[in-house]
Amino acid sequence: MIQNFVKGIVVGGVVAGIGLGVISQLAPMPQTNAPQQVAEPIPAPAMPAPAAPAPAPASTAIAPATQPLPEAKTAQPSTPAPSPAPPAVVSLAPVVPVQPAPAVAAPQIALLTPPASVPSEPAALPKLSDTDQAPKADAAPAPLPVEDALLAPALTAPTPATPTPAAPVPAPASPKPTVPERLSPVAELPKTVDGVTLGRLPSIAAAPAAQTDAPDPAADMPLVKFARPFTNAAGKPLFAVVLKDSGAADLDRAALAALPFPISFVLNPMDSTASDAEKIYRAGGQEVVMLASGIPQGASPADLEQSFQINDAVLPQTVVVMDLETNGFQDDRSLSTQVVAVVKAMGRGLLTYDRGLNPADQVARREGLPSAMIFRELDAQNESAPLIRRYLDRAAFKAAQEGRVVVLGSTNLETITALMEWAVEGRGASVALAPISAVLSK
C-alpha cells in the first residue's frame, strides 16, 4: 500500500508539472514596442519507447486525459517575458500545430535524470506476515526504491530498544535495635564532693520579697504623701478651686474644711496662725498650699534654700508652692530657675499665674516638675455671688477645652456662697471638682 501511495505522489507531481507547462505556453505575451520576433521551434529530443506500465489498483491509477489540443497561435510582436521556471523533474516537448483530430494522445514525458536510474517497474515492497519477526535494531536497513526515497527517514529510523527493567535490589535488612540495659542507682555513691560548698546560691523566692520591701521614693514626697484621695471614674475635666485664707479672727476654718467638695486652701507661712490653720484644714481632709513669701530681693541660691526651709518648718504638710500675686519670682527667669530647683528638691508642685511669658512655668515643665497656672481670680475686685458664678461657668468651659483648670478665690462670704450654688445648680455637674494635687498630676 505504501508503494501505491508513493506512486500516486510521483504521478500527481508529473501531471501538475505538465499543467504548469501548458499554461505557460498558452498565456499571451505582454505587448511591448520591441520588434516582432518569432520563436523558433525547438527540436524534440528522441523519446525512448514507453515501457508497459505496471498494473496498478483502480484507486491510485491515473490515466492521461485525451482532449483536442488548441491550435498554435501566430506569434504576436511582443517582448517575451521571463517564463516561470519549468519543474526540475520534467521537460515538455514543443507544441506542434496539427490538424484537428477526434483525439490526440498526451505528450510523452522525458525525465531529466538518466533513464537507467529509474526502473521501469518499481520493486514490490516485502510484505510482513503476522508471524514474521520485526527486524533487529542493529541490522542494516534494506535499500528502498526511488519512489520510497521521500519516506526514507521515516522508514529507516531505528526503533529504540525498550530497556529491560533491572531486577529490584532487595534493601538490606535493618538490624534490630538493641535495648540498653537499665542501670539501677548505686546507693553507696557519696552526695558530696571534696572542695565543693553547697547552699551558696541565693533563693529564687527571696528576690521578690526584697524588691517589695524596697521603699518608694515618691511616697515620701509631700505632693503624694499629703494629697487628698481622688477618683474620676467618669473621666470629666478636672476643676480645682484654690481659696486664700484671709486670716480673720472670726473665720470658721472647720466649717470650710467640711465643705462637700475638694478645696485647696492657701496659707501664708509668715502669718502667726498659719500652723494652726493647716492642722484644721488637714483634719477636714482638704489640701494646703504654701505661699512663696519671705524671699528677699536678689536672693542667692543659699538664701532661697534657707527661706524655704523656714516655710517648710511652719507648713510641713503643704503639697504645692504658689507664687505671690505681685513682685513674685515667676517673671524673673534666673530666679525662677533657682526656685524650681528648690521646690523640686522639696518634693512639692508649683502653682503660678497665667500671665505674660511666665518663665517659671516653662522651666518647671522643662525640669519635669508638676505645675499648673491659675486661669482666673474670682473675687479680686470683691465681686458679687452672681458674677462669681459667671466666672465659674467660663472656667468650666476652659476645662472642657484643655481637660483641666484652676481658679483662685478667697474665704469671704460671697465667694463661698457662689461656690455652693454653682456646684449644685450651675455647670458644676459637667466637671469634676478635684484637689490641686490631682490637677498637677494630670
Q: Compute φ and ψ for 437, nearest 5 degrees.
A: -65, -35
pLDDT at 370: 96
Pairing assessment for the beta strands 349-353 and 371-374 based on DSSP bridges: parallel
pLDDT at 198: 61
DSSP structure string for 354-390: S-S--HHHHHHHHHT--EEEE-EESSTT---HHHHHH
Q: Compute φ and ψ for 353, nearest 5 degrees.
A: -95, 145
- Give the Cα separation of 228 and 220 in Å (integer): 15
- Give the Cα separation of 144 and 158 in Å (integer): 15
- Give the Cα separation of 401 and 409 in Å (integer): 22
pLDDT at 288: 97
Give the H/E segment covering residue 155: helix 152-156
- Using CA atoms, how far residue 433 sits from 376, 407, 439, in Å, is 16, 11, 10
pLDDT at 20: 79
The amino acid present at 367, given as its one-letter code, is: E
For each of the chain's 442 residues, which pLDDT tens digit applies?
677 887 888 888 888 888 877 777 776 665 555 444 444 555 544 454 444 444 444 444 344 444 444 444 444 444 444 444 444 444 444 444 444 444 444 444 444 444 444 444 444 444 544 444 444 444 445 554 544 444 444 444 455 555 555 555 555 555 555 655 666 665 555 556 666 666 655 555 544 544 555 666 677 899 999 999 999 999 999 999 999 998 888 899 999 999 989 999 999 999 999 999 999 999 999 999 999 999 988 888 899 999 999 999 999 999 999 999 988 999 999 999 999 999 999 999 999 999 989 999 999 999 999 999 999 999 999 999 999 999 999 999 999 999 999 999 999 999 999 999 998 887 788 999 999 999 998 7
* 218 grid coordinates: 515618691
Q: Write down the domain spans for the chain.
A: 220-441
- Give the Cα separation of 259 and 158 in Å (integer): 117
pLDDT at 408: 97
Q: At what angle do helices 333-346 and 301-314 cross, to 10 degrees?
A: 40
Q: 51 Cβ partners below 8 Å, 6+ apart?
A: 120, 121
pLDDT at 109: 43
The residues pairing with 433 across neighbouring beta strands, listed in sequence order, are: 239
* 253 grid coordinates: 476654718
pTM of the full structure: 0.53
* 436 grid coordinates: 490641686
Half-sphere exposure of 44 (CA within 13 A, CB side): 12
pLDDT at 3: 77
DSSP three-state, residue 353? strand
Q: Compute φ and ψ for 440, nearest 5 degrees.
A: -70, -30
Would you identify the CATH topology of the domain 220-441?
TIM Barrel (3.20.20)
